[in-house]
């Protein structure tokens, strides 16, 4: 019995940090409508800075002072980020905000290693809370008891802050209607900045308070952000009480889940999240999200199938690509195969994200499931390659069918967070279930059969499949289903009013996209000859998002171009520098802020401008006007 | 002897939010080809009433029957399949698609081709889409992106979309709100002529009394959630209760104002 009580108390102690970080995320979202992906990064920096400060400053005052100072320092960094980066993208679509803050996360991961080194750092014990308390023969660290008390105290302070101060009233008002608050003459800029600072402070404090419990390391940001996303999905975005209750719930589930499913404890959290989503899709304490105000003046060029000339051009490009083995070496062909596979991956996400308006932040899950599907079939069942290639993607299909069912109940940022959480769950399973997946060691020796073994043959195979997939998905964009899918993206109200079951359309699209990604993953397993948990990791999911974004979210063919350019750049970059995350993160932020239409979008815009600038028949007339400007 | 059930029969519809009774025991019916206006001051419960008819909102009690068939509490998409088209107070259209594509989506849904993955949507019922757009006077706009349209044109597009499944009943929530006076008259004339020609029942809410009295065959008046009057435009115009609801305080103010001016 005592054991269970201790387990329960440990869960409560873990909930404290989780609550701090989740409430910060919730407050920021409530006012700015930005889901701050970098929140985990702030948590991590908080821990690192607190580590350094508590090492330098001595005594009890040095320790507690160091913790608070670290949180304040990170809050100041947050202010800087808000003013330099976020202010530029408040009116951008949610996807861009998530991506920009993700770019920031990537940069922080490399910077942290650069400054503090790659090793785990073990921090000082908290003065006054060094020992453990005996509880019927079980030990409870006294620091855990401190954390258990801290959680409700912070909740109380936040409540007072929001109910009793002028600033709190403004924040609550802005959470309900920020445009109205701005119209009432409140300086919105500073309100947003201060809210962001408070949110980041909470995240950093959560990180700093962890150092007596856990080692500080450079991957702690992703771990916490996924848990935080789960917490806010369960508790309801924007609700601080919800964040508290859900943080306790998730921490307890983790604490007891280990006892029930020692290998895959995360399953329990997932099940609870699934139940909550079915019963209350907006979370336990959240409110149903009102439809977002559409950005005024949104005009997208109507999509059209390729003209005859464009088809010929695409065919010519394909023929040139097919002749690559005639003059390129083996390394170039392997790179070519990888690019072709990533074209498959990118077009599959594009179908979901651009056509269906569902920006998945965990698309790699289905890519990776396809890869694992092939590995299982080839290694365990010993099936021939063709059969593996055909059946392997079905694992991606099944994963997409299960997760997609829950994911499409939500939209916008909730959808993004949920898909990310699902992907992380799949990753954890691959990582933890060593007896089946090989864990971190992966599954090795998945080599193609003779007919596809040479680099040129494999390249042709990959190119051929990529071409088929691209054509098929493109045909679907202009099929009745594709129209219905675009319709659900534009107006759910209208689709329901004309007899369309929007959720089923979106679910179908999710399954199609997941299966297609699985095809890419299946080929990838054979290309690399092995499968690792990284094949379904977050960074791969973000690669896909960046490829679509780089090509142009609002275009039909952007994904193909984006995948080719991005993958080529990426492979080159990794071979050139150790700090690829830093460069990549900066690159993502640059696209979002400066280049939001992507390559194809820019080309379309230029072509349109040229058409408008020179009306047929009067090129001479246009010139003097131009020079007059 | 059995009498054919009316196109739409509403019986004792009630809805409250917390302690507020938005709609209380509203009953009325509508024949095929009839144009019925639902009017009432702001907050009378018109929109709530309206949303309960096609399943956008669920009534606490009461029944909605379409040709005798119970449709209370059905989902909007199911109600649509039974032949009820709807336009919204604030237009809901597919902003990134062209005008023709908007109508084609409705036709695809009507033809039950929603899960057709490899057919050609641009060619889907192109002729029928064109005819519907001609019918509402939008033939020349077929290839324009919907996001570029003026508000009045969006309203006409919604009408074309609502007609795509050859409905028996059209529900139009403030069809002419936000339109210029001239456009209002045009749109309602158009609606009336289509309804009479195809024998479609039309129920609409409206604030513009000129539109109401010119086009409605019959009018029902809602105030504070209850039905206070029903009848032909002439009857409703002469009803003292309706006058009180609409003009009540205004007349008194007007009289005092004149007195003040004369002294």
CA distance A364 to A520: 10
Neighbours of B236 (CB within 10 A): 23
Which of B81, B104, B110 is facing A483, going by the closest CB pair? B104
Minimum-distance CB partner of A486 among B97, B118, B122: B97
- Output the six-digit token pair for A189: 């800029």
A427-466: pLDDT as tens digits = 888 988 888 888 888 899 888 888 888 999 999 999 999 9
- A-B contacts (CB, under 8 Å): 116
Rounded to an integer, the average pLDDT of B122-150 is: 90
How many C-beta atoms lie closer than 10 Å to residue A520's C-beta? 29
Interface of B with A in 120-159 (CB under 8 A): 120-122, 124, 143, 145, 147-148
A290 falls in which pLDDT band (50, 70, 90)?
low
* Residue A489 to chain B, least CA–CA distance (Å): 8
pLDDT of A58 over the 90 cut? no
Minimum Cα–Cα distance from A471: chain B residue: B118
Chain B residues whose beta carbon lies within 8 Å of the beta carbon of residue A500: 77, 105, 109, 114
Quick one: tokens of A451?
A: 């007919």
**Nearest in space to A339 (alpha carbons), one of A556, A571, A533, A546:** A571
State the pLDDT at residue A626: 33
pLDDT at residue B262 above 70?
Answer: no
Task: Answer whether B96 sits within 8 Å of A493, measured CB to CB.
Answer: no
pLDDT at B252 over 60: no
For position A570, what pLDDT does the model report? Answer: 85
pLDDT of residue B151: 85
Interval A259-266 mean pLDDT: 71
B96 touches chain A (CB under 8 A): yes
Tokens of B239: 């009803």
pLDDT band of B108, cuts 50, 70, 90 = very high
Q: pLDDT tens digit string along A549-587? A: 888 887 888 889 999 999 888 888 888 888 888 888 888
Q: Residue A571 has what DSSP assignment? A: H
Asked if residues A544 and A354 have their Cβ atoms less than 8 Å apart, the reply is: no
Q: Any CB–CB contact under 8 A between B76 and chain A? A: yes
Identify the pLDDT of residue B2: 57
Give the C-alpha separation, A479 to A236, whole Å.
37
Model confidence over A175-218: pLDDT tens digits? 888 788 888 888 888 899 999 999 999 999 999 999 988 889 98
Q: What is the DSSP letter of A454?
A: S
- Decide if pLDDT at A615 tops 90: no
Please tell me the distance from the alpha carbon of residue A494 to that of residue A491, in angstroms, as a whole number.
Answer: 5
Residues 6+ apart with CB under 8 A from B200: B32, B33, B167, B168, B169, B170, B194
Residue A543 Cα to chain centre, angstroms: 10
Chain segment A206-223, per-residue pLDDT in tens: 999 999 888 899 888 888
Our measurement of the distance from residue B66's CA atom to the centroid of its chain's CA atoms, rounded to an integer in Å, reads 16
What 3 state SS string does A82-97 have?
A: HHHCHHHCCCCCHHHH
Q: Do A493 and B124 touch (CB under 8 A)?
A: no
Mapping DSSP to helix (H, G, I), strand (E, B) and coil, where does residue A448 land?
coil
Return the pLDDT at B248: 59
With bands split at pLDDT 50, 70 and 90, how would you rate the model's confidence at B260? very low
Chain A residues with a Cβ under 8 Å from any Cβ in chain B: 294, 298-302, 304-305, 475-476, 478-484, 486-487, 489-491, 493-501, 505, 508, 512
**Strand partners of residue B227:** B222
> For residues B220 and A300, which has the higher predicted lDDT (pLDDT)?
B220
Distance CA B227, CA B13 (A): 11
- In this prediction, residue A33 has a pLDDT band, given cuts at 50, 70 and 90, of confident
Average pLDDT, chain A: 87
Chain A within 8 Å of B109 (Cβ-Cβ)?
yes
Give the sheet arrangement for strand B84-87, strand by strand. B84-87, B169-173, B201-205, B35-39, B218-223, B226-231
Q: Give B120 to chain A, closest Cα distance, Å.
A: 5
| B121 vs A contacts (CB less than 8 Å) | 478-480, 482-483
Q: Which of B43, B44, B54 is nearest to B10 (CA)?
A: B54
A127 half-sphere exposure, CB direction, 13 A CA radius:
13
Cα of first residue to Cα of last residue in chain A, in angstroms, is 83
Average pLDDT, chain B: 86
Distance CA A159, CA A165 (A): 10
Mean per-residue pLDDT for A530-557?
87
Instruction: Provide the pLDDT for residue B20.
Output: 84
Whether residue A627 is predicted with pLDDT greater than 50 in this model: the reply is no
Using DSSP bridges, classify how beta strands B218-223 and B226-231 pair: parallel, antiparallel or unpaired.
Answer: antiparallel
Q: Would you state the pLDDT for residue A471?
A: 94
Mean pLDDT of all residues in A393-415:
90
Q: Please name the residue of chain B whose CA is at the shortest distance from the CA of residue A478.
A: B121
Q: What is the mean pLDDT of the segment spanning A587-594?
A: 85
Tell me the per-residue pLDDT of A129-153, one tens digit each, with 9 for 90 and over.
877 787 777 788 888 899 999 999 9
Residues of B in contact with A479 (CB under 8 A): 116-121
Specify the pLDDT at position B247.
Answer: 65
User: Higher model confidence: residue A511 or residue A596?
Assistant: A511
Give residue-wise pLDDT tens across range A336-375: 999 999 999 999 999 999 899 898 989 999 999 999 999 9
- Does residue B9 sit in helix, strand or coil? strand
Chosen from B119, B123, B154, B159 to mutate, greatest number of chain A CBs within 10 A: B119
Model pLDDT, residue A295: 43
- How far apart are the C-alpha atoms of A251 and A147, rounded to whole Å? 13
- Residue A578's pLDDT is 81
* Beta-carbon separation of A302 and B120 below 8 A: no
Average pLDDT of the segment spanning A90-118:
88
- For residue A547, give both structure tokens: 């490829």
Name the more confident of B250 and A214: A214
**Beta-strand runs (E) in A119-200:** 132-135, 138-141
* Contact indicator for A520, A344 with CB cutoff of 8 Å: yes
Given this model, what pLDDT does residue A415 score?
Answer: 87
Distance CA B106, CA B94 (A): 11
Chain B's closest residue to A487, CA to CA, is: B94
Indicate the pLDDT class of residue A528, thresholds 50, 70 and 90.
very high
Which tokens hold the place of B33? Answer: 């080809």
- As a whole number of angstroms, the distance between CA B186 and CA B192 comes to 10
Which tokens go with A39?
Answer: 């929140």
pLDDT digits (tens, 9 = 90+) for B29-75: 999 989 999 988 888 888 888 889 888 888 999 999 999 889 888 89
pLDDT band of residue A68 (cuts 50, 70, 90) is very high
Give pLDDT, residue B37.
Answer: 92
Residue A214, pLDDT score: 85
């Amino acid at each position: 019995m005592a054991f269970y009580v201790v387990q329960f108390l440990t869960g409560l102690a873990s909930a404290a940090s989780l609550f701090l970080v989740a409430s910060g995320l919730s407050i920021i979202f409530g006012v700015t409508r930005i889901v701050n992906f970098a929140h985990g990064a702030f948590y991590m920096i908080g821990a690192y800075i607190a580590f350094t400060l508590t090492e330098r400053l001595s005594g009890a005052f040095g320790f507690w002072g160091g913790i608070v100072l670290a949180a304040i320092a990170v809050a100041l960094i947050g202010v800087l980020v808000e003013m330099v980066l976020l202010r530029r993208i408040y009116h951008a679509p949610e996807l861009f905000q998530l991506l920009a803050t993700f770019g920031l996360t990537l940069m922080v991961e490399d910077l942290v290693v650069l400054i503090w080194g790659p090793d785990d750092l073990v921090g000082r014990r908290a003065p006054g809370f060094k020992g453990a308390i005996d509880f019927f023969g079980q030990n409870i660290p006294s620091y855990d008891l401190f954390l258990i008390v801290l959680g409700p105290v912070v909740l109380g302070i936040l409540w007072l802050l929001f109910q009793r101060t002028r600033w709190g009233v403004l924040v609550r008002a802005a959470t309900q209607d920020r445009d109205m608050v701005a119209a009432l003459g409140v300086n919105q800029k500073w309100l947003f900045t201060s809210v962001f600072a408070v949110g980041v402070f909470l995240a950093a404090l959560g990180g700093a308070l962890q150092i007596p419990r856990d080692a500080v390391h450079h991957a702690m940001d992703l771990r916490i952000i996924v848990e935080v996303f789960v917490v806010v999905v369960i508790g309801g975005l924007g609700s601080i009480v919800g964040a508290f209750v859900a943080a306790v719930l998730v921490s307890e589930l983790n604490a007891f889940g280990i006892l029930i499913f020692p290998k895959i404890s995360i399953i329990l959290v997932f099940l609870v999240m699934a139940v909550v989503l079915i019963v209350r899709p907006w979370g336990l304490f959240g409110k149903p999200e009102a439809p977002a105000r559409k950005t005024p003046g949104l005009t997208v060029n109507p999509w059209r199938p390729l003209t005859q000339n464009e088809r010929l051009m695409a065919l010519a490009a394909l023929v040139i690509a097919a002749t690559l083995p005639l003059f390129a070496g083996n390394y170039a062909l392997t790179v070519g195969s990888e690019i072709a596979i990533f074209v498959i991956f990118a077009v599959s996400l594009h179908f979901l994200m651009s056509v269906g308006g569902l920006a998945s932040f965990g698309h790699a899950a289905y890519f990776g499931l396809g890869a694992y599907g092939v590995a299982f079939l080839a290694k365990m069942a010993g099936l021939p390659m063709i059969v593996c290639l055909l059946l392997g993607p079905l694992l991606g299909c099944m994963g997409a069918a299960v997760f997609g069912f829950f994911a499409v109940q939500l939209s916008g940022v909730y959808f993004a967070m949920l898909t990310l959480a699902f992907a992380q769950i799949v990753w954890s399973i691959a990582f933890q279930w060593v007896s089946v997946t090989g864990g971190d060691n992966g599954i090795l020796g998945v080599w193609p059969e003779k007919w596809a073994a040479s680099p040129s043959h494999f390249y042709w195979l990959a190119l051929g499949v990529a071409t088929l997939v691209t054509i098929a998905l493109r045909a679907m964009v202009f099929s009745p289903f594709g129209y219905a899918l675009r319709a659900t993206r534009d107006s759910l109200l209208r689709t329901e009013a004309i007899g369309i079951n929007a959720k089923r359309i979106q679910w179908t699209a999710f399954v199609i996209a997941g299966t297609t990604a699985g095809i890419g993953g299946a080929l990838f397993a054979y290309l690399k000859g092995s499968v690792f948990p990284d094949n379904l990791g977050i960074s791969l999911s973000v690669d896909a998002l960046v490829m679509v974004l780089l090509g142009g979210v609002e275009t039909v063919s952007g994904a193909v171009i984006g995948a080719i350019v991005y993958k080529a750049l990426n492979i080159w970059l990794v071979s050139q520098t150790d700090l690829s995350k830093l460069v990549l993160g900066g690159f993502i932020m640059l696209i979002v802020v400066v280049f939001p239409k992507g390559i194809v979008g820019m080309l379309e815009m230029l072509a349109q401008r040229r058409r408008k600038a020179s009306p047929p028949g009067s090129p001479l007339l246009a010139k003097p006007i131009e020079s007059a400007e | 002897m059995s009498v054919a059930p009316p196109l739409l029969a509403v019986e004792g519809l009630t809805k409250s939010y917390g302690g507020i009774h938005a709609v209380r025991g509203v009953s009325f019916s509508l024949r095929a080809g009839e144009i019925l206006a639902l009017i009432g001051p702001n907050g009378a419960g018109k929109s709530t009433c309206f949303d309960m008819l096609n399943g956008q909102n669920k009534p606490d009690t009461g029944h909605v029957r379409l040709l005798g068939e119970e449709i209370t509490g059905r989902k909007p998409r199911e109600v649509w399949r039974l032949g009820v088209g709807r336009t919204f107070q604030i237009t809901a259209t597919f902003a990134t698609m062209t005008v023709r594509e908007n109508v084609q989506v409705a036709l695809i849904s009507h033809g039950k081709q929603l899960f057709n993955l490899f057919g050609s949507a641009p060619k889907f019922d192109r002729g029928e889409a064109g005819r519907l757009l001609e019918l509402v006077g939008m033939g020349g706009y077929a290839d324009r992106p919907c996001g570029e349209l003026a508000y009045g044109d969006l309203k006409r597009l919604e009408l074309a979309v609502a007609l795509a499944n050859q409905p028996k009943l059209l529900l139009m929530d403030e069809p002419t709100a936000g339109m210029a006076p001239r456009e209002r008259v045009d749109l309602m004339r158009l609606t009336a002529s289509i309804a009479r020609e195809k024998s479609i029942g039309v129920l609409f809410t409206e604030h513009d009394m000129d539109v109401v009295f010119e086009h409605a065959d019959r009018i029902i008046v809602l105030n504070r959630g209850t039905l206070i009057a029903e009848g032909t435009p002439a009857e409703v115009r002469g009803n003292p209760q309706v006058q009180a609801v609409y003009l009540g305080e205004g007349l008194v103010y007007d009289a005092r104002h004149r007195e003040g001016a004369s002294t």
